[in-house]
């Protein structure tokens, strides 16, 4: 069988599963051919055969998360300014960049897309994106669940004419929507006057973000075309935004439905036969067990957001107890080859609380929320299945979230902040670091007041000259954070034991410590990653971690040899050690 015939049959199989309960206006064969044509996969010569269960990443991969205009300067396009900043301050630390939606938009800081095929003129143009792609692997957002109510597609829906006239999911006030999982408190249905009368458009997030109807195969085709266009412009990673809500069936919870998973598998098949190096990451801010299903059998997402990590790690560092983080870490299955975790502890959004449900008790979640509020955080709410208003997300800059403990603010803010990142950088998976974490940016109350949006607290826009003054001043906490963070990253990327798929084993230690062991794929390097997560000095007994005393061990972070004869190691408050039997020396910056 030819490569094209094999691929065509595989695409047909996906489509059969997706549309088995939908009456289509065309055959599955016609739809499969249209998808392959849109993707430019029309002959054997166009098709690459993806190697199964292959890891297209290693310990060198660090992803920065940033808006296109997180750093700006007068007289220059923000994307050019960002490029300059990255090359100047991050060239030895970051090799991939997630530029948050850089398309024309109407709300939600980019996630209400007006036009998927354009670059926001306020940021730059496609040439600026392509220049960035020459120096960094770029992650593009595929905002696949919804678009802006100001888009041409939705305007055509209102007119009931042209492309988009049947792209959007509708229901009626009489339909059973009682089970629908909601991430927001706004009404689900938006009353809209169209040329064919009043219709009620489904809006999972806001009334400016109108949900697509993927039972219409033209929507599936439209996004295949967008995917191909983004790859042509340099995308090496796709973040499927809010994809868990993609397929809707009335009378269900309308989240994580089988058709949603099959749509992801279909796009995975198309993408990997066009370019096997392109990676799909699913953004599914849902309870941990549900999130894990998006790996499929290494045939769905290459990577999933580790959404439980941010609330659990922050909780660990403010309570001084690693009990819940330990339990969660031990329960996490190793990612099989061809898949990995995407680890992050801060992002443009807040600290999601749904992924901590079942991991922290209601009382513990309440303490976490109260503590974050005392550090200046804002609390966003959602409507639960029972119609209750529940905390959904904590909006706070991570630097301020770690300014103290449940007992209040203290002097350990920077050390606690670095400790959090040292834990994340050592873990199985690919690390994602938000630009404002790299810079130690605090809460931006002025932006919250200006926008009226809680999430703005962690979306500061820096002027380049102001930022450079702070980063070049040794007395600035921004300088201290950037220096320590980049040094940690450079150490991490030199260790084979920190390959995203290297072996990981959680250590059973005192609750005031959090530790795990990593071993390189070739088994030549072992690293014990141990953090004191309390505000008191701790003396670790080396035999407690089964350290082989006949080997020579070095703390990679301090470059100090471990005195195994003494059998003890003192850890200062919030100190992390990476004890390795193979010392890859890192030159200071």
- d(CA 326, CA 324) in angstroms, rounded, equals 5
Catalytic residue among 61, 211, 241, 415: 241
- d(CA 171, CA 320) in angstroms, rounded, equals 48
Instruction: Give yes or no for a contact between 129 and 102, defined as CB atoms under 8 angstroms apart.
Output: yes
- d(CA 478, CA 444) in angstroms, rounded, equals 15
The owner of tokens 């803010």 is 413
Q: What separation, in Å, do the N-terminal and C-terminal C-alpha atoms of the chain show? A: 55
Helix (H, G, I), strand (E, B) or coil at 221: helix
- d(CA 410, CA 573) in angstroms, rounded, equals 12
Instruction: Give yes or no for a contact between 238 and 281, defined as CB atoms under 8 angstroms apart.
Output: yes
Instruction: Give yes or no for a contact between 512 and 534, defined as CB atoms under 8 angstroms apart.
Output: yes
Strand 137-143 relative to strand 235-241, pairing = parallel
Known catalytic membership, residue 46: no
Strand 513-519 relative to strand 526-532, pairing = antiparallel
The owner of tokens 């850089």 is 102
Residues placed in the known binding site: 108, 146, 239-241, 348-349, 455
- d(CA 177, CA 100) in angstroms, rounded, equals 31
- d(CA 439, CA 469) in angstroms, rounded, equals 12
- d(CA 45, CA 57) in angstroms, rounded, equals 26
Instruction: Give yes or no for a contact between 63 and 136, defined as CB atoms under 8 angstroms apart.
Output: no
Q: Which residues pair with 206 in a beta bridge?
A: 209
- Tokens, residue 248: 């809707």
Residues placed in the known binding site for substrate: 108, 146, 239-241, 348-349, 455
Q: What residues are annotated to the active site? A: 241
């Amino acid at each position: 069988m030819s490569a094209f015939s094999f691929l065509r049959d595989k695409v047909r199989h996906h489509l059969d599963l997706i549309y088995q309960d939908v009456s289509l206006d065309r055959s599955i064969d016609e739809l499969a051919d249209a998808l392959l044509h849109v993707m430019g996969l029309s002959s054997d010569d166009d098709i690459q055969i993806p190697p199964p269960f292959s890891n297209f990443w290693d310990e060198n991969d660090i992803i920065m998360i940033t808006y296109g205009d997180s750093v700006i300067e007068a007289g220059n396009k923000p994307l050019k300014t960002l490029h300059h900043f990255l090359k100047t301050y991050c060239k030895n630390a970051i090799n991939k960049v997630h530029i948050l939606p850089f398309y024309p938009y109407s709300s939600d800081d980019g996630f209400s897309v007006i036009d998927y095929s354009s670059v926001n003129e306020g940021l730059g143009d496609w040439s600026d994106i392509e220049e960035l792609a020459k120096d960094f692997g770029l992650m593009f957002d595929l905002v696949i669940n919804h678009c802006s109510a100001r888009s041409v597609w939705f305007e055509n829906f209102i007119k009931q004419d042209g492309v988009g006239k049947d792209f959007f999911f509708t229901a009626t006030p009489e339909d059973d929507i009682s089970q629908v999982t909601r991430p927001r408190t706004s009404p689900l249905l938006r009353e809209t006057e169209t040329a064919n009368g009043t219709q009620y458009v489904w809006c999972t997030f806001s009334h400016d973000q109108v949900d697509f109807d993927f039972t219409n195969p033209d929507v599936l085709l439209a996004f295949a075309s967008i995917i191909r266009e983004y790859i042509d412009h340099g995308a090496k990673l796709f973040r499927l935004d809010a994809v868990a809500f993609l397929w809707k069936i009335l009378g269900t919870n309308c989240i994580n439905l089988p058709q949603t998973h099959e749509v992801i598998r279909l796009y995975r098949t198309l993408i990997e036969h066009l370019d096997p190096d392109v990676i799909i990451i699913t953004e599914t801010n849902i309870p941990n067990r549900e999130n894990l299903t998006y790996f499929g059998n290494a045939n769905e997402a290459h990577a999933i957001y580790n959404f439980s990590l941010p609330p659990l790690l922050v909780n660990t560092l403010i309570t001084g107890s690693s009990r819940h983080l330990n339990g969660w870490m031990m329960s996490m299955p190793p990612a099989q080859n061809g898949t990995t975790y995407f680890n992050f502890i801060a992002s443009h959004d807040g600290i999601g609380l749904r992924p901590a449900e079942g991991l922290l008790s209601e009382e513990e979640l309440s303490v976490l929320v109260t503590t974050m509020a005392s550090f200046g955080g804002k609390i966003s709410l959602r409507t639960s299945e029972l119609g209750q208003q529940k905390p959904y997300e904590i909006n706070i800059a991570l630097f301020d979230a770690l300014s103290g403990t449940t007992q209040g603010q203290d002097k350990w803010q920077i050390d606690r902040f670095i400790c959090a990142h040292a834990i994340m950088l050592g873990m199985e998976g690919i690390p994602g670091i938000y630009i404002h974490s790299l810079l130690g940016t605090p809460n931006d109350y002025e932006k919250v007041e200006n926008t009226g949006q809680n999430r703005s607290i962690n979306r500061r826009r820096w002027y380049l000259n102001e930022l450079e003054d702070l980063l070049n001043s040794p007395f600035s906490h921004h300088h201290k954070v950037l220096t320590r963070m980049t040094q940690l990253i450079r150490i991490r990327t030199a260790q084979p034991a920190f390959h995203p798929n290297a072996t990981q084993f959680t250590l059973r230690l005192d609750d005031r410590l959090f530790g795990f062991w990593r071993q390189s794929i070739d088994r030549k390097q072992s690293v014990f990653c141990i953090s004191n997560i309390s505000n008191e000095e701790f003396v670790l007994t080396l035999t407690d971690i089964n350290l082989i005393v006949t080997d020579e061990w070095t703390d990679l972070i301090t470059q100090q040899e471990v005195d195994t004869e003494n059998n003890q190691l003192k850890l200062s408050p919030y100190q992390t050690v990476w004890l390795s039997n193979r010392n890859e020396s890192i030159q200071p910056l």
